[in-house]
A and B are shown apart, each in its own frame.
Chain A
Amino acid sequence: QITLKESGPTVVKPTQTLTLTCTFSGFSLSTSEVAVGWVRQPPGKALEWLALIYGDDDKRHSPSLKSRLTITKDTSKNQVVLTMTNMDPVDTATYYCVHRHGSDYSLYGFDYWGQGTLVSVSS
């Protein structure tokens, strides 16, 4: 049974760096067939994909946010960490951790999601 859970601060100040951790179970992030990533959703708005990392360390980032994002994994701890620099109030959102399988980027969706964590950016 696959589960994912996000953890991190609920409030960050503008210009600060956000660090979120996804702790997962039920699978191993050790092959090119499995990936963990992040999706966010501002209150009342649509979903936005942020970043994804595969077990072979292939990393993908949203082109619009690439300069601000870093995604890493710790296979021994079953964790994936996302950092986002220079936070702004428009970055206020629920941040979800997601799982996908398959080395073909186009096939299969994000089949498992964490419960999400709301991050507010405010001074």
Chain B
Amino acid sequence: SYVLTQPPSVSVAPGQTARITCGGNNIGSKSVHWYQQKPGQAPVLVVYNDSDRPSGIPERFSGSNSGNTATLTIRRVEAGDEADYYCQVWETSNDWVFGGGTKLTVL
């Protein structure tokens, strides 16, 4: 099965840049989607197709994908960005796969 590996936690001070990685075998050849999930809420799509943003998502959220690592970058981090973040891909044998999630803490 295809495995997506995320760091369990990332911490960043307000105003700084947070980078959350998602590792997978040759993930650069796949389209990666990112979700934000705040406590007690449903996930929200924040980046799709590696680097596109749905309507209403701030430009502070961006994505990149190359080689074996995809990255979600959040610039000028705010307290309201504190959440769990999940990456996702579609893979031939397993269909839609999620990473294990990363808890972003704003210090």
Collect the chain B residues with CB atoms within 8 Å of residue A110's CB. 33, 35, 43, 45, 88, 96
| Identity of the chain B residue whose Cβ is nearest the Cβ of A63 in the assembled complex | B94
Collect the chain A residues with CB atoms within 8 Å of residue B42's CB. 96, 113-116
**Does chain B have a CB within 8 A of A62?**
yes
Complex contact B88–A109 (CB within 8 A): yes
Summarize B's interface: helix, strand, loop or mixed: strand
Complex contact A46–B100 (CB within 8 A): yes
Complex contact B45–A109 (CB within 8 A): yes
How close is B16's CB to chain A, nearest CB, in angstroms?
26
Summarize A's interface: helix, strand, loop or mixed: loop
Complex contact A106–B31 (CB within 8 A): yes
Complex-state Cα separation, A105 to B97, whole angstroms: 12
Complex contact B95–A109 (CB within 8 A): no
Complex contact A111–B54 (CB within 8 A): yes
21 A-B pairs whose Cβ atoms sit less than 8 Å apart in the complex: A46-B98, A46-B100, A47-B35, A47-B98, A47-B101, A48-B98, A49-B98, A52-B95, A63-B1, A63-B93, A63-B95, A96-B42, A106-B89, A106-B90, A107-B49, A109-B33, A109-B88, A110-B43, A110-B45, A111-B45, A113-B44
